[in-house]
Copies of this chain bind each other. A is one copy, B any other.
Amino acid sequence: MALKIAIVASGSGTNAQAMFDRIKEGRLDAEVVLVVSNRPGARVLDRARAFGAPVAELDHKAFPDRETFDAALAETIAASGAELVVLAGYMRMLTPAFLHAFAGRVINIHPAILPSFPGVHGGPDAQAWGVKITGCTVHFVDDKMDNGAVIVQAAVPANPGEDIDELMNRIHSFEHRIYPQAIQWFAEGRVRVQDRNVSILPDAGRRQIVPDGHWLVWPPLEEGF
């Protein structure tokens, strides 16, 4: 049975689109029971409607404070029956009450190899620092910024003086592979967590992809991602 996921997003939703694409292709065994945005009219909602997923708009500006907004968000997601909450370009911190309601079931993606370059400018910050290797991270969400246990990371090269868009495209192309892969691991019940150590149970039937160029994903991607 497909894993029920709720996608929470603020923006254009390219990571959500990657999930929709993998689902349509039969590679990601997930059912999108809700796509919710805190920004009315966000492009991710158009993408969700085109895909055929239920959508909700919850304008955070219409709520008196963060706690009240997060309570409404939690209620909306709980009503959808989602088993996993997938943040995809959601630009707000979640309250402890929300995280408590979905303990161990909220994941996020970040455009850097955490713990390097947390925060909202992970990509440009890494370039400005002059790193040679950066990448992206899928991680559990806790009450600190970009801090939860790491599920999977990808490493990509950075080149001096390159256009930031080139670097971000390289990072995003791996986000669009590792995030659906991580959700598929949840769908297959293969994710185990002990403190900060996340393990993916092996599946002898899944062929792993060995990097054949200038990138590294760990744990390895499997065929289809």
Contacts and interface: CB of A to CB of B under 8 A. Distances in A.
Interface of A: 113-117, 128-133, 135, 137, 149-155, 157-158, 160-161, 194-199, 210-216, 218-220
B150 A131 contact: yes
Contact of A219 (B132, B211, B215): B132
Given A197-B130, A197-B160, A211-B211, A155 B216 contact: yes
A154 B113 CA distance: 13
Given A133-B153, A160-B198, 5 more contacts: A128-B196, A130-B197, A132-B150, A155-B216, A212-B212
Contact of A220 (B135, B214, B219): B214
B131 A153 contact: yes
B160 A199 contact: yes
B210 A210 contact: no
CB-based closest 7 A-B pairs: A130-B196, A160-B197, A155-B155, A157-B218, A132-B153, A216-B216, A116-B116
A53 to B, nearest CB: 30
A76 to B, nearest CB: 31
A216 to B, nearest CB: 4
Nearest to A216: B216
Nearest to A134: B113
Given A160-B194, A161-B197, A216 B214 contact: yes
Contact of A198 (B130, B157, B213): B130
A198 B198 CA distance: 35
Nearest to A194: B160
13 contacts: A113-B131, A113-B155, A114-B116, A130-B150, A130-B196, A130-B198, A131-B153, A132-B137, A132-B152, A133-B216, A211-B214, A211-B216, A212-B212
A154 B214 CA distance: 11
B133 A155 contact: yes
Contact of A135 (B129, B133, B195, B213): B133
Contacts of A153: 131-133
